[in-house]
Amino acid sequence: MKSIIKIDPQKPLKEEIDFVSKEIKRGKIVLFPTDTVYGLCANGQNQEAIQTIYQIKKREQSQPLILFLSEQGQLRKYVDSLFPWGRKLVNKLWPGAVTFLFKAKQDLQLTSATKDGKIGIRIPTTPFLLRLINALDVPLLTTSANFSGEPAPVQPFAFSPPAHGAGDNL
C-alpha cells in the first residue's frame, strides 16, 4: 500500500524522519525532493528494494545508482582515497547539487552503486535528506524519479510509476 505524507523538506519533523526511515529499512521506495529534481531512494543493503527501483524506472541494471551521504567523514567508508585537489573541490561544492565520481573501495558491497570500480556520491543540502541519512544505519541509494531516458520531474506528482508490480512498494 502506498502512503503519501507531505513533509516540509526544509523543516521536517522528527516523527516524519522516523516514519520514512522505518519504511526505507522495511524495503519501501521513497519519492523525495533533491537539490535539483525529485528522486527515488532505497535501502542500499536491500537487493529487493534496489531491484524495485530498476523496475519502476525501467532502467538497465548496468546503470548504477547514486549514494547519498550526510557529511564528508562518511566518504572513508566507501572511497579508497581522495587527492588534495579533489578534497578542495568537494569542500567547495558540497553540500550541493553535485555528484562526484570516486574510486570505490575494492571490498565495497554496494554493487548497484558501482561501475568499473567507481561510485557516484552526493551530499545534498536539503535538511530532510540530511536528517534522514543520519537516522538510517544503511546506505541510501538514489536516482531521479523518471522513467529511464525521460526528463526528471521537478514537481512531486509529475512521475507516476505503474499502479501494479514494482509500483506497489513506493
Task: State the Cα–Cα distance between residues 89 and 112, nearest whole angstrom.
Answer: 25
Instruction: Return averaged pLDDT per consecutive 10 residues of the chain, 170 residues in all.
Output: 82 96 95 90 95 93 95 93 88 95 91 92 96 94 90 67 47
Asked if CATH classification 3.90.870.10 holds for the domain at 14-169, the reply, yes or no, is yes
The closest alpha carbon to 35, from 77, 95, 79, 80, belongs to 95
Distance between CA 140 and CA 142 in Å, rounded? 6
CB proximity list for 32: less than 8 A, separation 6 or greater: 9, 38, 39, 40, 41, 128, 129, 132
